[in-house]
Homo-oligomer: A and B are copies of this chain.
Amino acid sequence: MSFWRKCTDVYRELTEVEKYIRGALRTRQAVLAKGLKELLDAGGKRIRPALVLISGQFGEYDRKKLMPLAAGIEILHMATLVHDDIIDDADIRRGVPTIQAKWGKDMAVFTGDFLLTRAFSLITQNVEFENMHKLSDVMKAICEGEIDQYQTCYNLDITVNDYLKRIGRKTALLFSLSCRIGAEESKCAPEVVWNLWKFGKNLGMVFQIIDDLLDFSGDLQTMGKSPMTDFGNGVITLPIIYALKQPDFRDEIREIVDRREFTPAVLDHVRERVHQSGGLDYSKALADRYIRRAINNLKALPKIPARDSLKVLVKKLQERQY
């Protein structure tokens, strides 16, 4: 949330969303309540609910309608994080121990389910039937995308296209739907809806490409999670895909992945080699291409303060890479 401190309007509305989220996640089950509190206190950038609300400002902004929707989408996202951490065997997320590290995988399964059912409850509160269905289609695609990613673990033959398709489903879909739902529920004009939708899609691509890049270049401090976690779990992302195409790096990296003995020293070495291969620069360049597209989408939108908030968001995400 501190991510939004400079956009006072957005920050104020997100404070309200936070109340909605906490309200929806109330439970008398003591252990669950404790786990959820830690999850909430760990914070997060709250980008998806912000997209819902900011998009809504391009039309007839109806706070009562958008609040539960924004909260529901964030809770949905939290559910996917909790379940992802099970698969990734992740110990740390947003700088604090994950549910599965602290309470065990079993509790993480239930906590994720609880979050999903609560998201369902909020989302069905006020939204148009059509948008409810779009959202459930996106949830379906996210699940399929997750399984695709899991199935292609350690698969060194995936192409840049496979990767882009995967992150499109895993991340960009929910970004774009957040914008679209916010806009449609606020009765925006069709071309405004279209531009916000495309903006969300491009921004989601930027977000995930940079997130994957940070797995190689970031540190625990700035990322809130351990670097090389994805790579160590066999998730093949853009920097590695690029490095694998370079003759000087290909065989060595293939051999390391095939051996699957990812000691800290091995991980450090891979990190270094990917850097040398130009894989990070390539990722940055691709992220920049999506940033340009996102900026173009913004240019086509009406010049209102909400547009400036989206510009700030693009800039903030862009800065994450350094």
Contact = CB atoms under 8 A, between A and B. Distances in A.
A139 B124 contact: no
B106 A144 contact: no
A144 B112 CA distance: 12
Provide the main secondary structure of the chain A interface: helix
B87 A106 contact: yes
A33 to B, nearest CB: 10
A168 to B, nearest CB: 15
A116 interface: yes
Given A124-B136, A136-B120, A146 B105 contact: no
Interface of A: 27-29, 31-32, 79-80, 83, 86-87, 105-107, 109-110, 112-114, 116-118, 120-121, 124-125, 129, 132-133, 136-137, 139-140, 143-144, 146-148, 150-151
Given A83-B113, A87-B109, A116-B113, A121 B133 contact: yes
A32 B124 contact: no
Nearest to A137: B121
A118 B133 contact: no
B109 A86 contact: yes
A147 B83 contact: no
